[in-house]
């Protein structure tokens, strides 16, 4: 009894001594996080509340507090709304296709159906080493009628035209990220103990049945994580469409929400651009958050 009490006091005493170490270990990241995450968020929110007022048409411009005036403008801005609609359409199609493929490849790699899995794992992952900008440049050339190795197709199908350009960009994003998502799901499959499958094998379950009824439910957390990162990535689309702009006149400078933010900031209308950034960040946050909630609820 006494010894426990002494030990507890000693431990508590030591815990207090650790305060210095805790602060020292957390401070460098804390400063960087405060400066480059918290402060920009505060500035963006503050900036988005300002409006420019002029004394007469040519008078001196001053920034004054305008409440939510900019946010009203954000939601009246047809181009920004169209851009959001465009990436949502993109996401609804591209994310399921990409994650479906990633899941299929991960399951095939994990099944006894495939030989040479080391090779395939690498071959599918290599595009992830190609930055979005470079991938978009490559595919831009591959889609253009003159240079493309598949000019028989690209001379007849206009991949860079207004009808298909969104899906050509979707192809670039899919090409880069399928292997990465595959690897996340595959790592998660590897951590399942194989004994779990043995009973099913003895009962004569096929590989397809094992994948559907055992493996997929068990790798749900990994799929959820890839989905959240994909949702964030979709709403933030910038580099790929920005590059495609120089290959295709169908990509306008307000094609995606982030491109609209950049175009608005370049006008310059920093307050409106800040309000657009805040709306976009909130939308991303809310979508990811609810997807996580939804996915967690379903798995219980």
Partner 1 sequence: MSKSASLAYKQEPLLSRAAAMLIMGVFTLYFLVPIWWLFVASTKDKGDILTTAPLWFADFNFFENLGALTEYRGGVYFQWLLNSALYAGLGALVATVFAGMAGYALSKYQFRGRDTVFNVILGGVLVPSTALALPLFLMFSQVELTNTFWAVFLPSIASPFGVYLSRIFAAQAVPDEVLEASRLDGSGELRTFFTIGWRLMLPGLVTVFLFQFVTIWNNFFLPLIMLRSEELFPVTFGLYAWNTQLNQIPELRSYVLIGALISIIPLIVMFLSLQRFWRNGVGAGAIK
10 lines the binding site for partner 1 (CB under 8 A) = no
CB nearer to partner 1: pick between 166 and 278 = 278
Applying CB under 8 A, among 77, 236, 253, 269 the residue interacting with partner 1 is 236
73 lines the binding site for partner 1 (CB under 8 A) = no
Contacting partner 1 within 138-197 (CB under 8 A)? 138-142, 146-149, 151, 175, 178-180, 183-185, 187-188, 190-191
- Mark the segment that binds partner 1 (CB under 8 A) among 55-63, 66-74, 83-91, 218-226: 218-226
The distance of closest approach from Cβ of residue 35 to partner 1 in the complex, given in angstroms and rounded to an integer, is: 8
CB nearer to partner 1: pick between 102 and 166 = 102
CB nearer to partner 1: pick between 166 and 235 = 235
205 lines the binding site for partner 1 (CB under 8 A) = no
CB nearer to partner 1: pick between 55 and 171 = 171
Applying CB under 8 A, among 26, 93, 196, 218 the residue interacting with partner 1 is 26
Applying CB under 8 A, among 6, 7, 134, 199 the residue interacting with partner 1 is 134
Contacting partner 1 within 84-113 (CB under 8 A)? 101, 104-105, 108, 111-113
The distance of closest approach from Cβ of residue 57 to partner 1 in the complex, given in angstroms and rounded to an integer, is: 27
Applying CB under 8 A, among 5, 21, 267, 300 the residue interacting with partner 1 is 21
Q: Output the six-digit token pair for 27.
A: 């401070």
65 lines the binding site for partner 1 (CB under 8 A) = no
Contacting partner 1 within 252-291 (CB under 8 A)? 258, 261-262, 265, 270, 273-274, 277-278, 280-281, 284-285, 288-289
50 lines the binding site for partner 1 (CB under 8 A) = no
Helix/strand/coil (H, E, C) string of the chain? CHHHHHHHHHHHHHHHHCHHHHHHHHHHHHHHHHHHHHHHHHHHHHHHCEEEEECCCCCCEEEEECCCHHHHHHHHCHHHHHHHHHHHHHHHHHHHHHHHHHHHHHHHHHCCCCCCHHHHHHHHHHHHHCCHHHHHHHHHHHHCCCCCCCHHHHCCCCCCCCCCHHHHHHHHHHHHHHHHHHHHHHHHHHCCCCHHHHHHHHCCCCHHHHHHHHHHHHCHHHHHHHHHHHHHHHHCCCHHHHHHCCCCCCCCCCCCHHHHHHHHHHCCCHHHHHHHHHHHHHHHHHHHHHHHHHHHHHHC
């Amino acid at each position: 009894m006494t010894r426990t009490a002494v030990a507890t006091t000693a431990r508590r005493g030591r815990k207090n001594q650790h305060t210095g170490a805790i602060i020292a270990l957390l401070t460098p990241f804390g400063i960087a996080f405060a400066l480059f995450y918290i402060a920009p968020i505060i500035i963006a929110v503050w900036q988005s509340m300002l409006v420019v007022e002029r004394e007469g048409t040519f008078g001196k411009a001053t920034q004054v507090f305008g409440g939510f005036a900019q946010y009203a403008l954000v939601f009246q801005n047809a181009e920004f709304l169209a851009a959001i609609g465009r990436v949502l359409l993109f996401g609804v199609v591209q994310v399921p296709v990409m994650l479906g493929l990633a899941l299929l490849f991960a399951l095939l790699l994990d099944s006894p159906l495939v030989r040479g899995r080391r090779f395939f794992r690498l071959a599918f992952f290599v595009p992830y080493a190609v930055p979005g900008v470079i991938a978009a440049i490559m595919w831009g050339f591959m889609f253009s009628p003159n240079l493309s190795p598949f000019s028989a197709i690209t001379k007849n199908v206009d991949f860079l035209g207004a009808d298909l350009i969104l899906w050509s960009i979707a192809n670039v994003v899919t090409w880069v990220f399928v292997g990465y998502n595959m690897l996340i799901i595959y790592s998660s499959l590897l951590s399942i103990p194989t004994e779990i499958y043995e009973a099913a094998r003895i009962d004569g379950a096929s590989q397809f049945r094992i994948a559907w009824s055992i493996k997929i439910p068990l790798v749900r957390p990994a799929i959820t994580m890839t989905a959240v990162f994909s949702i964030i990535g979709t709403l933030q689309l910038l580099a790929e469409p920005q590059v495609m702009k120089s290959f295709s006149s169908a990509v306008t400078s307000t094609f995606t929400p982030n491109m609209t933010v950049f175009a608005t900031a370049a006008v310059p209308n920093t307050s409106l651009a800040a309000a657009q950034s805040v709306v976009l960040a909130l939308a991303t946050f809310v979508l990811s958050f609810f997807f996580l909630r939804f996915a967690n609820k379903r798995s219980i």
